[in-house]
């Protein structure tokens, strides 16, 4: 498994910290708080892909539209298109009308969805307490397979071949860095 380095940053240090991370790593993941702010504009402007996490709710549809607005502003600022996708999280294992309705609302708003959704699973909740990602908790479990499918889809969007160099025989899943 490749070394994963986590760096905390803030809006004032984000750009220099990002430059330093990009000089050292092939893949940099920026995990921001959900509110639209200057750090989000900076991060989006430096990104090849922006993932907008959302749950199946009206509130999340509205907030995703706002977030994509910031991504579009960043694209205008840097003079290039910035790829973005909404990733639905905490979706029910069994399809429910509210989740289907949310998918429809995202499509009506013109926000493309990843085909992979992060399904509501105990392993994701456990991770918040233990820090152990699903592929370490239960490598053969549904949550690990769910994350692997998400990684595969994101890698495909970015044109990355998996596994990344240095991963050896096993699959490695990138962990997010707090920014």
Could you list the residue range(s) of the whole structural domain that residue 45 is in? 14-178
Question: Got the DSSP string for 126-141?
Answer: HHHHH---HHHH-TTS
Q: What is the pLDDT of residues 39-89, one digit of tens each?
A: 888 899 999 999 999 999 999 999 999 999 999 999 999 999 999 999 999
pTM of the model: 0.81
d(CA 108, CA 106): 5
Does a structural domain hold residue 4? Answer: no
Does a structural domain hold residue 141? Answer: yes
Does a structural domain hold residue 108? Answer: yes
3-state secondary structure (DSSP) of residue 124: helix
Does a structural domain hold residue 37? Answer: yes
CATH of the domain at 124: 3.40.50.300
- The answer to whether the beta carbons of residues 38 and 10 sit under 8 Å apart is no
Does a structural domain hold residue 3? Answer: no
- The answer to whether the beta carbons of residues 34 and 68 sit under 8 Å apart is no
Does a structural domain hold residue 5? Answer: no
| Predicted confidence band of residue 32 (pLDDT cuts 50, 70, 90) | confident
Q: How many domains does the chain have?
A: 1
Does a structural domain hold residue 172? Answer: yes
* Alpha-carbon dihedral angle through residues 144, 8, 31, 160, given to the nearest 10 degrees: -70
Does a structural domain hold residue 86? Answer: yes
What letter would DSSP give residue 113? B
């Amino acid at each position: 498994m490749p070394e994963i380095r986590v760096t905390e940053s803030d809006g004032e240090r984000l750009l220099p910290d990002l430059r330093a991370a990009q000089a050292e790593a092939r893949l940099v993941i920026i995990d921001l708080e959900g509110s639209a702010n200057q750090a989000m504009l900076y991060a989006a402007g430096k990104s090849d892909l922006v993932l907008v996490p959302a749950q199946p709710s009206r509130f999340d549809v509205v907030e995703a539209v706002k977030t994509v607005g910031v991504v579009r502003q960043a694209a205008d600022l840097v003079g290039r298109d910035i790829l973005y996708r909404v990733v639905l999280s905490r979706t029910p294992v069994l399809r429910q009308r509210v989740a289907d309705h949310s998918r429809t609302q995202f499509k009506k708003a013109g926000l493309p969805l990843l085909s992979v959704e992060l399904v509501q699973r105990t392993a994701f909740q456990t991770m918040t307490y233990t820090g152990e990602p699903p592929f370490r908790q239960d490598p053969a479990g549904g949550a690990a397979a769910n994350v692997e499918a998400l990684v595969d889809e994101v890698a495909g969007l970015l044109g990355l071949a998996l596994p990344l160099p240095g991963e050896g025989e096993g699959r490695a899943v990138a962990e997010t860095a707090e920014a």
